[in-house]
Amino acid sequence: MARVHVTSWQQTYRGLMPDSVLDDPGLLRARERFWTGALTGERWAGNRAAVAEVDGTLIGIALSGPTQEPGTAWQFQLHLLYVDAAHHGSGAGPALLHAVLDPHESAALWVADPNPRAQAFYRKHGFAPDGHSKTEDGLREVRWVRPAGTPQPGAAAGRPRR
Report whether 79 contacts 63 (CB < 8 A). Answer: yes
DSSP 18-73: -HHHHT-TTHHHHHHHHHHHHHH-GGGTT-EEEEEEETTEEEEEEEEEE--STT-S
Task: Please state the rounded mean pLDDT for residues 1-6.
Answer: 98
**Does residue 110 contact residue 141 with C-beta atoms inside 8 Å?**
yes
Model confidence at 43, pLDDT cuts 50, 70, 90, reads confident
Closest CA to 124 of 160, 93, 161: 93
Which strand (E) or helix (H) includes residue 96?
Answer: helix 92-100
pLDDT value at 103 more than 90: no
- Residue 158 has a pLDDT of 44
* Adjacent-strand bridge partners of 105: none
For 32, other C-beta atoms within 10 Å of its C-beta total: 15
User: Which domains are present in the chain?
Assistant: 47-146 (3.40.630.30)
Phi, psi torsion values for 101, nearest 5 degrees = -135, 125
| More confident: 4 or 150 | 4
- The reported pTM is 0.89
According to the model, what pLDDT value does residue 100 have? 97
